[in-house]
Chains A and B, each alone.
Chain A
């Protein structure tokens, strides 16, 4: 924020202004990005009287310079004529055009021909007003790489006209991707996603946009309780609900209620409704899982996504018991991420501890981040103690598990021989987690 003006907010309207003067989107966006970088550097010491006008003018000059240097003579002539004609009226019309420009930009940057990562990067730059450097840092790639990713994205949509509005769902998908991207560097992407979605909700009355905003607020309200200070995952049932941001929850619910009243249900409204049912419960045990299952049924009707089906299986397990959950899981295709973890959880609930332990180990190996892997490894530890008895006789050892009367394992050539002495060591293999207790050594 500079001079009381959120500088990033001025970026979309500046791009729009240049496009209306005749610049193509790609060049306009580059020019505004260059001007933005200069603004960030010079404004703290020399703030402009009219920040929006400054940005548009500085960007326009850079556009002209670039157009000249590529000897795009025709573009320059067109631009010069337009700027003379438009200049005077520009300021008056600016406010009116700005909102339309911004909304158009949301659609352009989320165009279906772009890969998700390209759309996210372009949206953060052109709509979010972030610098290439900030976006690169957020995604842990070099600045040059991110710059290229954005340039390529713009080339890909070069045939698309600003003003061509497609499906709102594509824009929502990109914004949700920004929200779920995680937190790295100076920019909090979740907060950025909320900011961009709020702005979109101010420009569009589509209930899915409002549903998306509600969903983000309801998730964001609980962010602090999801991990402990060491970064360990805390499952929903153990999260400290008193730490949830009631203000954000209140706002999210209000927005959701209004959206649902429009009677035009979409996937984000349904997801928000599920989130609302979770936050509504004073404790995990009070969660209305039956209603949650009903909302998952609605969501499946809308999307038929395997990931949704997987989530529904978890909810069915809570509402109707582990056996029902496993039956629901059977309908989920293999290779869906986290499917093994869900099966492990349901089998554990069904009392199949050995199977669950094996599945948790497999799930940990398939985990996509270290926090989940560690969490799953900790779940492997059985909830009941296993009793082990080892009988040593000379160079033979017999291992009895539980109350077995016959040995489960016999080792007949102990390597240290019959006369070894010293300490007893207990350990498990790498990747395993175990606790030992009550070791007793008795002479036979």
Chain B
């Protein structure tokens, strides 16, 4: 089953005590964090669990259709108070429990002082299970 693991710059539940944003870390700490992410993806691949991993820039905006013939309307850059996604991993694992296990491991990526940042990772199941074949198809 496929799951989306979302890293957020901000948003989600209250961060743990002492949590700091990446702009407050030293260059070495940033490198260590990125290396952890690379190693984690490699480990997922080695385990036959990796589908994809990507980071996205904090630059961006919201866009919507503004009516026939009108240019799209944007609402950005992203407001400081809003949820902001940093990137994601898509994994293919045997159970929900395994997805949680992997998310918790990802959450332990190092940050300031080389300590695990314990960030909140959002886990969302993909809506792609095969359809049923049985009586439930009767409904």
Which A residues form the contact surface with B (CB < 8 A)? 115-118, 121, 139-142, 144-146, 148-150, 152, 180-182, 219, 226, 233, 235-237, 271, 274, 292, 307, 310-312, 314-315, 318, 338, 341-342, 345, 367-373
Residue of A nearest to B95 (CB): A115
Smallest CB separation, A338 vs chain B (Å): 5
Known contacts A116-B94, A145-B51, A370-B127; can you find 15 more A-B pairs with CB under 8 A? A142-B51, A144-B45, A145-B48, A145-B49, A237-B138, A271-B134, A274-B135, A292-B135, A310-B136, A312-B135, A314-B135, A315-B135, A369-B127, A369-B131, A371-B131
Knowing A338-B132, A345-B139, the reply to whether A367 touches B127 (Cβ < 8 A) is: yes
* Contacting pair B48 A146 (CB below 8 A): yes
Interface SS majority for chain A: helix
Q: Is the CB of B51 within 8 A of A314?
A: no
Given contacts A142-B50, A148-B45, A148-B47, A341 and B130 within 8 Å (CB-CB): no
> Closest CB-CB distance, B47 to chain A, in whole Å?
7
Name the distance in Å between B99's Cβ and chain A's nearest Cβ: 13
CB <8 Å contact, A314 and B136:
yes
A-B contacts, 26 listed (Cβ < 8 Å): A115-B94, A116-B94, A118-B48, A139-B92, A141-B51, A142-B50, A144-B45, A145-B45, A148-B46, A148-B48, A149-B47, A149-B49, A226-B137, A237-B138, A274-B135, A314-B135, A315-B135, A341-B139, A342-B136, A342-B139, A367-B127, A368-B125, A369-B127, A369-B128, A369-B130, A372-B131
Kindly list chain B residues whose C-beta atoms are within 8 Å of the C-beta of A236.
137-138
Identity of the chain A residue whose Cβ is nearest the Cβ of B94 in the assembled complex: A115
- Whether A219 lies near B133 (C-beta < 8 A) is yes
> How many angstroms from the CA of A318 to the CA of B139 in the assembled complex?
11
Scan B45-88; emit 1 where CB is below 8 A from any A CB, else 0: 11111111000000000000000000000000000000000000
Residue pair B45, A233 in contact (C-beta under 8 Å): no
CB-CB under 8 A from A310, the residues of chain B are 136
Q: Are B92 and A141 in contact (CB under 8 A)?
A: yes
Complex Cα spacing A75 to B138, Å:
57
Q: How far is the CA of A116 from the CA of B133 in the complex (A)?
A: 19
Q: Would B92 and A145 count as touching, CB distance under 8 A?
A: yes
Within 8 A of A (CB), among B77-126: 92, 94, 125
Asked if A368 and B48 sit within 8 Å, CB to CB, the answer is no
Q: Check B136 against A145 for contact (C-beta < 8 Å).
A: no
Could you tell me the distance in whole angstroms from the C-beta of B97 to the nearest C-beta in chain A? 13
A318 to B135, CA, bound (A): 10
* B48 neighbours in A (Cβ, 8 Å): 118, 121, 141, 145-146, 148-150, 152
Interface presence of B129 (CB below 8 A):
yes
